[in-house]
Amino acid sequence: MNNQSYDEARMLADQAHGPLAPFIRDYHAAVVEKGYIGRGVYVKIYRAADFDRWLHREQIPVSAIDDQCVERYHARDSGTRRVSSVNERPAMRSLLAFLRAKAAIAALPSVSAYPAIDASIDDFRQHLHHARGLTVGTIDNYWGYARDFLIERFGGAPVDLGAIAATDVIAHVQQQATRLSPGSVKLITTALRAFLRYLQYLGKVDPELIAAIPAVAHWATTPPIPRAISPEDARQLLAHCSGRTPREIRDRAILLLLARLGLRSGDIVNMTLDDVDWENGSLRMRGKGRRECFMPLPPDVGEAIAIYLRDARPHCDDRRLFLRARAPFRGFNRTDCIGSVVKNTLAHAGIDAPRKGAHQFRHALAVRLLGKGASLPEIGEVLRHRSPQATAIYARVDIDALRDLVVAWPGEAA
């Protein structure tokens, strides 16, 4: 830590004498605890002390701090500033979140443009979690698609779920089909089917309404051939991520999990410290539908994870295995964070891969296994596919091997 920046921030906290004085010292400790160091600590405490002085001059008590008050502070003419104003709004958001957590100022109201719609389908989310056992990502998608449908049907008017008609459903799907791909529209119809089944369970709609959902022509017999990162690019990427900095150490462990085990982004985001069984050399995986299984932990992957835990993982109460590399330290909260790790590493390594996301490693593993003679059921077991159809797409990858299986046309000259 930059001791000068830290000491200056502590001095600012000790010198505060305005309405925020009772809070700034604790705020300083909270900022340090979240992992901010050096100038990061100083910027936040400087802004809190400056806001404290402004409140004192304006004779505004802590209890009167609201959005209008903060905007007045941002619009002030403070003359020469020691800290760039670029950091002002983020620093203020951090301070206000701390004050709300301490109940020193009012909590933010729950803002929704469609409160009646949100209230009407709030239990749908719980139903998907407890009764259906779906993953968080799937639940968010289903809930969001159902919400979009209700917004189109009712807008800001009172919500009458029993008034939903077949024409409403058909019109919504047709409207979505004009702007989305067939695959995306198929996801919407799946979500609507789940929502209408839930309404049927509640006795709100008739079963016939579910049958009104249009089918989407999305041919499962001819899925696109998966595009995988090449072995050369994968080796170059891992060599580039050599582990010189804490971020590189973390990213190397993530890339090895993708390349060696073919994990999904969600698998890595949801992985916790308790999922690594060091004694038995295995990883506990929580897949789709909250199914659990154990996968072997390859030595190089285990070594990369161990180095990350020993040398690079920040001290944090969050039990998720991989954390943000910058303060505030916490686990990844979205699956696309793993995709960003891959994309950024590819860019730094100067590799032009066919895809920029994490799933290309999963495809690469399947292609590699196929080339070594693994059967499709074996590949499906490694990738934890729930249906043979999900694995069957890889039968179209190795064209040269498939040519050897072609049977000559009857009567053709030898």
Quick one: pLDDT at residue 1? 45
CA angle centred on 284, ends 278 and 288, rounded to 5°:
165
pTM for this entry? 0.64
pLDDT confidence tier of residue 9, bands split at 50, 70 and 90: confident
The pLDDT tens digits for 349-366 are: 898 877 778 888 888 888
- pLDDT of amino acid 87: 77
Lowest mean pLDDT of 7-11, 72-76, 92-96, 124-128, name the range.
Answer: 7-11
Question: What is the average per-residue pLDDT within 32-50?
Answer: 86
Instruction: Supply 359's token pair.
Output: 């799933």
pLDDT of residue 255: 94
| d(C-alpha 223, C-alpha 229), whole Å | 19
Residue 77 neighbours by CB distance under 10 Å: 4
Of the listed ranges 73-77, 202-206, 301-305, 353-357, the least confidently predicted one is: 353-357
pLDDT confidence of residue 285: 86
Task: Determine the average pLDDT of the residues in 281-294.
Answer: 80
pLDDT > 70 in the chain, percent: 86
**pLDDT value at position 178?**
87
pLDDT at 230: 86
Tens of pLDDT along 58-114? 999 999 998 889 989 988 865 545 555 667 888 899 999 999 999 999 887 666 678
Note the pLDDT of residue 75. Answer: 85
The token pair at 71 is 């905007």
Q: Kindly tell me if the per-residue pLDDT of 369 is higher than 70.
A: yes
Report the pLDDT value the prediction gives residue 137, as an integer from 0 to 100: 73
Burial 286-320 (b: 16+ CB within 10 A, else e): bbbeeeeeebebbeebbebbebbeeebbbebebeb
What positions carry a catalytic annotation?
264, 288, 359, 362, 385, 394
